[in-house]
Structure 1
Amino acid sequence: MRIVPIRYTAEVAASKRFYLALGLSTGASSRPGAWVELPAASGMLALHTADVAPGTCELAFKTDELLEDVAARLREAGFSPGPVLDENHGQSLRVRDPDGVWVQIHLLDRELYT
């Protein structure tokens, strides 16, 4: 798995300019401009517009593993993942960590969104 913090912002373009100035690169983005991936030397930052407070961050992971297998492992460990959802970028799964914070796991299909 690869960790991907998701930074919610009021304006993706302005935040993108800021993080590019810090040294991140431009990666894949949505055609309408609602999100962009900014690869770095040892990870990636995802910028998204959302109805949450700007500056809010969420933890996400990208995996090549089937999400049904991840969900089964979480259930075996006593956690309650949500359903595996088909998305416009592949599949996703959400689960709350022990503090009640949502964590996202994504199995991406680049053919769907690039």
Structure 2
Amino acid sequence: MKIMPIRYSADVEAMTRFYEVLGLRTGPVSRPGGWVEMPAEAGMLAIHRSSGEDVGRCELAFEVDEPLEDVAERLRAAGFEPGPPMDEGYGHSLRVQDPDGVWVQLNRYDRDLYT
């Protein structure tokens, strides 16, 4: 079984670019461009075009294996401004808003703290 959050967005292209910057790759795309699959190592993100109440629905969290400072630098270089890394009980986290203003959380776990 794979986890596949569905992210509804008014701008599928901008949303796809945002998640490519985070490290996902673009997979299958619908011919009219209404949805994109973005496979990941432990699941997949599906981005679907929407309007009205569904836009922005879904908050996401990803576990990252690289230093959060590296992720933050890459986001800034692409024009996205992340918040500061936060010291958490399980490691560190970083939050950033996607193009629709929805918060995405990136977690770097310290397994000695987490387990």
In terms of fraction of residues, the more strand-rich structure is 1
What letter corresponds to residue 104 of structure 1 in structure 2? Answer: Q
Q: Does structure 2 conserve the Cα–Cα contact (< 8 Å) formed by 1:81 and 1:93?
A: yes
Cα shift at 1:110: 1.4
Separation in 1, partners of 2:4, 2:86 = 19
**Structure 1 equivalent of residue 26 of structure 2:** none
| SS of structure 2 residue aligned to 1:70 | helix
**Structure 2 equivalent of residue 102 of structure 1:** 103
Structure 2 counterparts to residues 1-114 of structure 1, below 5 A? 42-43=42-43, 57-114=58-115
TM-score under structure 1 normalisation? 0.51
What letter corresponds to residue 70 of structure 2 in structure 1? Answer: D
| SS of structure 1 residue aligned to 2:79 | coil
Separation in 1, partners of 2:90, 2:4 = 15
Cα shift at 1:4: 8.6
Q: Does structure 2 conserve the Cα–Cα contact (< 8 Å) formed by 1:4 and 1:62?
A: no
What letter corresponds to residue 105 of structure 2 in structure 1? Answer: Q
Q: Does structure 2 conserve the Cα–Cα contact (< 8 Å) formed by 1:4 and 1:60?
A: no
Paired residue total? 65
Separation in 2, partners of 1:57, 1:78 = 22
Separation in 2, partners of 1:75, 1:98 = 13
What letter corresponds to residue 84 of structure 2 in structure 1? Answer: P
Unaligned runs of 5+ in 1: 6-41, 44-55
Q: Does structure 2 conserve the Cα–Cα contact (< 8 Å) formed by 1:59 and 1:103?
A: yes
What letter corresponds to residue 102 of structure 2 in structure 1? Answer: V
Separation in 1, partners of 2:86, 2:101 = 20
Percent sequence identity is 69
Unaligned runs of 5+ in 2: 6-41, 44-56
| SS of structure 2 residue aligned to 1:99 | coil
Separation in 1, partners of 2:86, 2:113 = 14
Separation in 1, partners of 2:93, 2:63 = 9
Separation in 2, partners of 1:4, 1:82 = 25
